[in-house]
């Protein structure tokens, strides 16, 4: 047992004592406890610890980053907190604190190479029911960064020639270019009916950016090739359904790009170029597609749709025959 004194702020109210201070990771780790459901089903309330997640946090800290989020603790009676003149006196013995929020940040910080200081919020005088309520409130009201927004924000962190940078630039310019079939039909930060979000765009485009075909071109030629391909797809959808609304649906968009390389290959084989005319000629192969049979949106459904389109393209290619000037 030992006693420590910390500079602190008291920001509680008439019913709850609440202190904000700074403690080292090892101080907190040594004298705190996590009340886990898997260890004590009767009174435990914390989720199980993911060692992989804690190790990732430790690596993040070792790379020179800091953890800005506060560790939230509930002081137990044996902590014997005393606050006066801006200083908080704490009696440290094992189990002095329960961790209400931040167990992975705490474990990861303790695993880091250096004993770092962490912002700490301490609630004092809570009974078990109140601890559980705070845990539920904190974890049910916190909202993670949506994947669409997270991808969009990567533009501020990515190198100019990285996949992230190229994809985000393509997304922006394909949405802003009047010649693009996706003109004003995409949304960078949210999902909306009739608009393609960044998430399916990333899933469809990223695997191709360093591929054998798209990867060989300059940025401008990448964009031109994608516009030709998307325009050919749009024309095929007009023939199948009378409109191109399906182009901006997540499942169809991802499926169509699974046959991108095949369409390019057949365009070269039959027409020796990637022009819109050549690609439209190849994409005519999917006009017999019965899209009413493809209503799913999971990965299996996307793969099934792509597989059927690929088969139709093969059959169409056979009807086109082998160009005589290639023999």
130-149 pLDDT, tens per residue?
887 887 777 666 655 566 66
Cβ neighbours of residue 32 under 8 Å, at least 6 residues apart?
73, 95, 96, 97, 98, 99, 106
- Each domain of the chain, given as residue ranges in start order, spans 2-141, 147-326
pLDDT of residue 129: 81
pLDDT exceeds 80 at position 273: yes
pLDDT of residue 327: 36
209-265 pLDDT, tens per residue?
989 999 999 999 999 999 999 999 999 999 999 999 999 999 999 999 999 999 999
Between CA 38 and CA 53 the distance in angstroms is: 18
- pLDDT top residue among 41 and 101: 101
Count the helix, strand and coil residues of the chain and give each as a percent rounded to the nearest 5: 50, 15, 30
Q: What is the average pLDDT across 288-298? A: 92
Treating both helix axes as pointing N-terminal to C-terminal, what angle do 276-283 and 299-320 enclose, rounded to 10 degrees? 100
pLDDT of residue 125: 86
27: pLDDT confidence band, cut at 50, 70 and 90?
Answer: confident
253 alpha-carbon distance from chain centroid:
19
pLDDT exceeds 80 at position 46: no
Residue showing tokens 């003109």: 183
In this structure, the strands spanning 87-92 and 82-84 are: antiparallel
pLDDT of residue 255: 97
């Amino acid at each position: 047992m030992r006693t420590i004194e910390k500079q602190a702020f008291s920001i509680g109210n008439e019913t709850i004592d609440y202190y904000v201070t700074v403690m080292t990771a090892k101080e907190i780790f040594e004298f705190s406890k996590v009340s886990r459901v898997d260890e004590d089903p009767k009174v435990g309330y914390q989720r199980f610890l993911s060692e992989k997640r804690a190790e990732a946090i430790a690596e993040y800290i070792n790379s020179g980053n800091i953890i800005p989020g506060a560790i939230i603790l509930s002081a137990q009676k044996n902590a014997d907190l005393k606050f006066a003149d801006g200083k908080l006196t704490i009696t440290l013995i094992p189990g002095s604190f329960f961790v209400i929020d931040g167990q992975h940040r705490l474990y990861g910080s303790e695993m880091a190479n250096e004993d770092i200081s962490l912002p700490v919020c301490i609630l004092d005088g809570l009974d078990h029911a109140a601890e559980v309520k705070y845990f539920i409130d904190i974890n049910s009201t916190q909202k993670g960064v949506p994947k669409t927004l997270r991808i969009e924000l990567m533009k501020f962190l990515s190198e100019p020639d990285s996949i992230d940078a190229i994809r985000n630039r393509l997304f922006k310019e394909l949405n802003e270019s009047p010649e693009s079939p996706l003109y004003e039909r995409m949304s960078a930060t949210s999902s909306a009916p009739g608009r393609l979000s960044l998430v399916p765009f990333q899933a469809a485009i990223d695997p191709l950016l360093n591929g054998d075909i798209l990867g060989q071109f300059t940025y401008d030629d990448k964009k031109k090739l994608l516009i030709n391909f998307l325009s050919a797809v749009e024309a095929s959808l007009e023939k199948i359904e009378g409109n191109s609304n399906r182009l901006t649906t997540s499942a169809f968009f991802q499926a169509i790009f699974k046959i991108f390389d095949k369409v390019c290959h057949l365009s070269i084989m039959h027409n020796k170029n990637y022009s819109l005319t050549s690609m439209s000629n190849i994409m005519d192969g999917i006009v017999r597609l019965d899209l009413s049979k493809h209503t799913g949106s999971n990965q299996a459904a996307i793969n099934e749709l792509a597989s059927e389109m690929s088969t139709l393209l093969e059959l169409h290619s056979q009807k086109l025959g082998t160009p005589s000037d290639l023999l």
